[in-house]
Amino acid sequence: MVKRLQREIGSTGLEWVDAIILPGEDIDEPSLLEMEQREQLTENFKVRYNDIDYLLALREAAENREVDWFDRESIESVAGELQSMVEKSKGEVVRDLFAVKYMDIFLEDSEQAGQYHRLLKTLERFRDIGRMMMQVEDQYPLEADRILQTLFAAVRANRGHLDIRVIRAMFKSDRPRFDKLATKVADAEAGWDVTAGPSLSNPGSSVPIETEAGEEESEADDEGPGPEVANYPKVAVGTAIELAIDGFSASQQDDVAQVLQEICNRLEVLTEKNRLSSALSRDEGIKVRENLEKIVQWVDENRHLADRAI
């Protein structure tokens, strides 16, 4: 390494290198591994590595301590042992260990076990999945598979961590809407062949991180597009997620006048350049007509409120 540097930048400052020799009788393999992991995981050194390298080093350190990935107490105990090494709080280490756990499960579910390079730039997504599944494992174990399917679908549909964060909030405060989304995801995935697997994804641009009240702040993560999954019903799943999030966001608004104005804005867009009539004559015409009839029915049912207001 030193000779290579001398060739590249010259020998100035590289004539001598300080070294520490550890006597064999004073150091054993576990102690040596501990030092190597400490260097890999300490914040000052972690900048050399991407998010996957950091998580893999954390995963190795946890497994060397015989962590049981399916025992919450075991994960928390190991996190307590590792927190000084990684210079994070215990809660942050627990969060990252759960991210590792669900990355492994995602890759196994995609029949791509161990191919972590396929998940570059997705750390924050799996952190949020881990946060949600910590609650699910404890409080809703019988529903865990269905909930996890919905979260993994968001990753496969290339939805970002902020969308996953909204899905998490939806699960907490609007279960009927979440259940409807989970059903649509399951229906969309019904004919998907998982054996096709994801292809290598390319890192995307940086997205700023927002945190929920009461949670420890997440470190910034350059969020990429996620894995490209062969033959996956990306459009159907992505649309279902987008519509569910849109409906959930609208349900959280207290300003009724603003909600109505937003509806008016969208209806006006539909009448521009005959977009509505053109859509009715195309392949999606049946679905367009169904939704148009719902709007007409809603107006008829609520017309008396407008009359009463006058």
The per-residue pLDDT for range 198-225, each reduced to its tens digit, is: 664 544 433 333 444 444 444 444 577 7
With a CB cutoff of 8 Å and minimum separation 6, the contacts of 193 are: 231
pTM equals 0.70
Q: What is the pLDDT of residues 143-177, one digit of tens each?
A: 999 999 999 999 999 888 999 999 999 999 899 99
Nearest CA among 46, 189, 206 for reference residue 109: 189
Cα of 178 vs its chain's centroid, Å: 17
Residue 209: per-residue pLDDT: 39
Interatomic CA distance for residues 11 and 5, integer angstroms: 8
Interhelix angle 72-86/51-64, nearest 10 degrees: 120
Q: What is the pLDDT of residues 41-76, one digit of tens each?
A: 555 544 444 677 778 888 888 888 888 999 999 999
Interatomic CA distance for residues 151 and 132, integer angstroms: 9
Nearest CA among 268, 242, 247 for reference residue 259: 247
Q: What is the pLDDT of residues 99-126, one digit of tens each?
A: 999 999 999 888 888 888 788 788 889 9
Residues 279, 288: contact at Cβ < 8 Å? yes
